[in-house]
Amino acid sequence: MADMVNVFFFGKKYSVPADMTVMTAMEYAGYTLKRGCGCRHGFCGACATIYRIKGDNELKTCLACQKQVEDGMYVASIPFFPTDKRAYDINQIKPTQQIMMELYPEIYSCIGCNACTNACTQKLDVMHYIAYAQRGEFEKCAEESFDCVGCGCCSVRCPAGISHPMVGVLARRLTGKYLAPETLHLKDRVEQVNSGAFDELIEQVMQKPITEMKELYNNRDIEK
């Protein structure tokens, strides 16, 4: 018999195996997860979760697919957090400090409390990349926010109402569109694909059994 712990999902007590993640424990308890369960490997940000351990006043955040259950854990999931994404045409804006002031002026109300960083499920330095955005340093903001999965936990805790994931998205789009070096080899390959240069090869690959496909994938040459 596995070691069991007591957890509370949406206020109701359950006894679940101690080696489970919050997500698998919810399913063990009988919940059918149709939303907030995405990729199940920590990459999509769909399973943002808030929890508190009994006897501890600190409110904590995690991804339900990664966090192991703890005894006395009170859990509430956030299958969607309404971050504020502003409308813009990436072809009509430029990577200037002014564009961030126009689209996300609330970032200049940041009080430096670092609640966003403490809440990040990916352990990103969120406050730091918001500071880069304030100064119009979009390449640095893009790099610092690159691993963001958009779960919204940072925005939940922000007293200034900043939509941190959306600020990071804008910085990465501006960087990719205007600041990063042009990837000429990728452009050439796309043109080759569109011209049909690989149609026959693609068709051959499509006819291969899945076991052979896995072998080809696992032994492929990876570009440095």
List pLDDT tens digits, range 102-150: 999 999 999 999 999 999 999 999 999 999 999 999 999 999 999 999 9
- Number of Cβ within a 10 Å radius of residue 117: 18
- What pTM was estimated for this model as a whole? 0.79
- Residue 156 CA, distance from chain mean position: 14
| Placement of tokens 């080809």 in the chain | 216
**Cα-flanking dihedrals φ and ψ of residue 76, to 5°?**
-140, 125
Q: How many CB atoms neighbour CB 160 within 10 A?
A: 16
Distance, CA of 207 to CA of 6 (rounded, Å): 51
Predicted confidence (pLDDT) at residue 224 exceeds the cutoff of 80: no
Where do the domains of the chain lie, and which CATH numbers do they carry? 4-77 (3.10.20.30), 97-179 (no CATH)
Question: Is the pLDDT score of 36 beyond 90?
Answer: no
